[in-house]
């Protein structure tokens, strides 16, 4: 949709009315400024509603990709509009949680509409004694990300791995397990 193509959009600030009294009865000046009003009306409407253009919950859907690029949000044109709006609205939160268990789970839910569970922490080992001769034991194998679809949906393994690679901490190798349904309670 082009905001310039709105026919008959009146200008809230007609230039002809703001001219000195000398030009108030001048037909040429009034017609000339009316032409400018037609061109400038969409600009004034956009500026008057600028806050709505910058709010992902109400911005026109064709502005979402532009707004997503401003905040570095994931934006897939094939997603439903509501999911794209949520991705833009929550972009800062997801950036802040990047590399955390909660951030990974939220990114998978938002990006693919799947359920996820992250176990293990990919830990780090250290010694309180400087120059200790004995090395600390090997850290655990790394976080395990279990993903399962919402009822009636399928999981795209390539997209899961893509999101996990982007959101997993750099120092950890995340393992991915794609399940057909929620994991069984394993004696927790």
CATH assignment at residue 156: 3.30.300.30
- In total, how many domains does the chain have? 2
The region that residue 117 occupies, defined by phi over 0 for left and psi between -120 and 50 for alpha, beta otherwise, is beta
Q: Is residue 104 part of a domain?
A: yes
pLDDT at 130: 80
Model pLDDT, residue 187? 45
Query: Both 104 and 39 in a single domain?
Result: no
Lowest-pLDDT range of 75-84, 91-100, 133-142, 143-152: 133-142
- Say if residue 172 is in the same domain as residue 101: yes
7 within domain boundaries: no
Q: Assess whether pLDDT exceeds 90 at residue 151.
A: no
> Are residues 103 and 176 located together in one domain of the fold?
yes
**Co-location of 110 and 179 in the same domain:** yes
Percent of the chain with pLDDT over 90: 29
Cα distances (Å, whole numbers) of residue 151 to 35, 117, 159, 175, 181: 57, 16, 18, 24, 8
The pTM of the whole model exceeds 0.85: no
Sequence-ordered list of residues with C-beta below 8 angstroms from that of 3, at least 6 positions apart, any chain? 42, 45, 46
In a domain, 3, yes or no: no
What residue numbers bound the domain in which 38 lies? 13-48
The side-by-side arrangement of strands in the sheet containing 115-119 is 115-119, 144-148, 175-178
pLDDT reading at 124 higher than 90: no
Report which of residues 139 and 39 the model is more confident about: 39
Note whether 165 and 102 are same-domain residues.
yes
In a shared domain, residues 41 and 101: no
Q: Are residues 102 and 175 in the same domain?
A: yes
């Amino acid at each position: 949709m082009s905001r310039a193509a709105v026919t008959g959009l009146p200008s809230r600030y007609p230039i002809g009315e703001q001219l000195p009294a000398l030009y108030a009865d001048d037909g040429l000046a009034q017609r000339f400024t009316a032409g400018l009003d037609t061109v400038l009306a969409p600009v004034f409407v956009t500026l008057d509603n600028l806050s709505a253009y910058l709010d992902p919950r109400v911005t026109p859907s064709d502005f979402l990709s532009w707004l997503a690029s401003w905040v570095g949000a994931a934006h897939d044109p094939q997603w439903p509009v509501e999911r794209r709006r949520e991705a833009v609205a929550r972009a800062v939160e997801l950036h802040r949680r990047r590399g955390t268990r909660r951030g990974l789970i939220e990114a998978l839910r938002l990006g693919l509409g799947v359920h996820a569970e992250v176990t293990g922490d990919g830990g780090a080992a250290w010694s309180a004694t400087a120059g200790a001769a004995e090395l600390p034991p090997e850290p655990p194998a790394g976080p395990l990300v279990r993903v399962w679809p919402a009822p009636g949906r399928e999981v795209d393994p390539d997209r899961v791995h893509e999101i996990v690679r982007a959101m997993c901490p750099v120092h950890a190798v995340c393992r991915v397990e794609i399940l057909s349904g929620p994991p069984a309670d394993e004696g927790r």
